[in-house]
Amino acid sequence: MNLLLLGSGGREHAFAWKLTQSQHCKQLFVAPGNAGTAQIANNIPLNPNDFESIGQFCVKQQIDMVIVGPEEPLVRGIYDFFLENKDLHNIPVIGPSKQGAQLEGSKAFAKKFMADYNIPTAAYQEFTLENLEEGYQFIDQQATPIVLKADGLAAGKGVLILDDRQEAKQALKEMLEGKFGAASNKVVIEEFLDGIEFSVFVLTDGNSYKILPVAKDYKRIGEGDTGLNTGGMGAVSPVPFLDDKLMEKVISNVVEPTIKGLQDRKIAYKGFVFIGLIRVDGEPMVIEYNCRMGDPETEVVLPRLKSDLLGLFDAVAKGTLEEQSIEIDEQAACTVMLVSGGYPEAYEKGKEISGIKEVSDSLVFQAGTAEKEGAIVTNGGRVIALTSYGTDFKAALELSYKNAAIINFEGKNYRKDIGFDL
Ligand code: AMP
Ligand code: GLY
């Protein structure tokens, strides 16, 4: 098959790594890709949100399947664009329809969906500028801290957790007045949940589903989960505290009703549901849905998947996922993100990266990298994810940390405490 993968991060390098291992993969194109995907696939300089150009490319190159990495093209409706175009409707897109992507694209949609299907999540209300006063009253009635969420996509920055009610009111007003652009025209205020977070990844063809390896990521820039939020500084899989009993609850209370809810609403969904969960008093509760895989979670989930990913995608496209089985590696995997100095705030690009070739016992998934005059240079905040296997996450981490010291670029930073809370 000829495949087109959309995206340019470590997640997409991991997808490319896994897909090119399939005997059914004839050619893999990545739009736009990075210096890592360039080594194993063909990068093409197309914007994943430019559906017209993506469509033309698919016709010209006889693409058999499109796999969507990031959320934005999904929320903008790439699935529907292909389905509604006579030249493209036979090319399956792995990812949900525009309506399905609302699980991530609108917090208000996701909260209502969970309420309708009795899926455990924090109590909430939604507000716009029209009922700002009610918002203030609601804040007065809430215990602190107060959780404010921009309804729409805000590049991972749309959630504020504030200890002070006055600050929360101020923040609500600023959000509704456009702090995150149109994404915060509506704001969800919800109950603060106290517990430990983990993530579950579900692949569905809309009827049946498979559960992929679970993971836990580390979002804050600073050790001990302090400082600003990032896209993710590291991840581990499996999650030691996620025992069979908790997993059974996740499946029966969250996964099953989610898939049934999508069916019930006749929402086309052929892709990933990434469920961000928190354990509160032994019970799983949903923090958020994403309509795609996580980054850097993909860099630990796919290395533990023994089954042929392309075979699974083909079954998703054909609606025969039920007939597939999935095999998971018993070993643990962890990943450590090397990031640019200053990230997640301002940082410089174009720093030469050395040492990649010297790494032999970790997988090097490149994220913000580019080729420049024969060298690989930094081209983003998150630069390289170093993934290792081990008998447990500690053994795996030891390898990643050994190799984190071998790869160098000016300003290199990484968290030295991934897994500290496990
Ligand atoms: P989200 O974008 O919804 O995943 O939120 C980003 C982060 O904010 C989550 O990973 C949590 O750490 C935190 N968070 C979101 N909602 C809540 C909540 N209701 N209670 C506690 N923490 C939350
Ligand atoms: N690592 C979190 C995310 O991909 O949303």
Query: Is the CATH code 3.30.1490.20 the one for domain 123-190?
Result: yes
Minimum-distance ligand to the CA of 142?
A: 1
| Ligand 1 contacts CB of residue 145 (under 6 A) | no
Please report the pLDDT score of residue 157 as a whole number: 81
Write out the two tokens for 190: 């919800």
Three-state secondary structure readout of 151-216: CCCCCCCCEEEECCHHHHHHHHHHHHCCCCHHHHCCEEEECCCCCEEEEEEEEECCCCEEECCCEE
Q: Which atom of ligand 1 is nearest to the CA of 190?
A: 19
User: Strand pairing of 382-390 and 283-290?
Assistant: unpaired
Task: Provide the whole-model pTM.
Answer: 0.96
| Rounded Cα–Cα distance for residues 381 and 230 (Å) | 9
Q: Which CATH topology does 2-98 take?
A: Rossmann fold (3.40.50)
| Ligand 2 contacts CB of residue 104 (under 6 A) | no
**Residues 78-122 pLDDT 10s:** 999 999 999 999 999 999 999 999 999 999 999 999 999 999 999
Minimum-distance ligand to the CA of 158?
A: 1
- Quickly state the pLDDT bin for 154 (edges 50, 70, 90): confident
**Mean pLDDT score of the chain, rounded to an integer?**
96
Please report the pLDDT score of residue 26 as a whole number: 97
Give every strand in the sheet of 124-127, ordered side by side.
124-127, 187-190, 146-150, 159-162
CB of 199 closer than 8 Å to CB of 214: yes
What is the chain's length?
Answer: 422
Residue 137 CA, ligand 2 centroid: distance in Å? 32
Give the containing element (helix H, strand E) for 133.
Answer: helix 132-141
Write out the two tokens for 315: 């079954």
| Ligand 2 contacts CB of residue 232 (under 6 A) | yes
b/e sequence 253-287, b meaning 16+ C-beta within 10 Å: bbbebbbebbeeeebbbbbbbbbbbbbeeeebbbb
| Rounded Cα–Cα distance for residues 389 and 375 (Å) | 28
| Ligand 1 contacts CB of residue 192 (under 6 A) | yes
**Residues 371-382 pLDDT 10s:** 999 999 999 999
Residues 6+ apart with CB under 8 A from 167: none
- Quickly state the pLDDT bin for 218 (edges 50, 70, 90): very high
Percent pLDDT > 90 in the chain is: 96
Sorted by where each begins, the domain ranges of the chain are: 2-98, 123-190
- Quickly state the pLDDT bin for 326 (edges 50, 70, 90): very high
Q: Which of 111, 274, 288 to mutate to test the pocket of ligand 1 (most atoms within 8 A of CB)?
A: 288
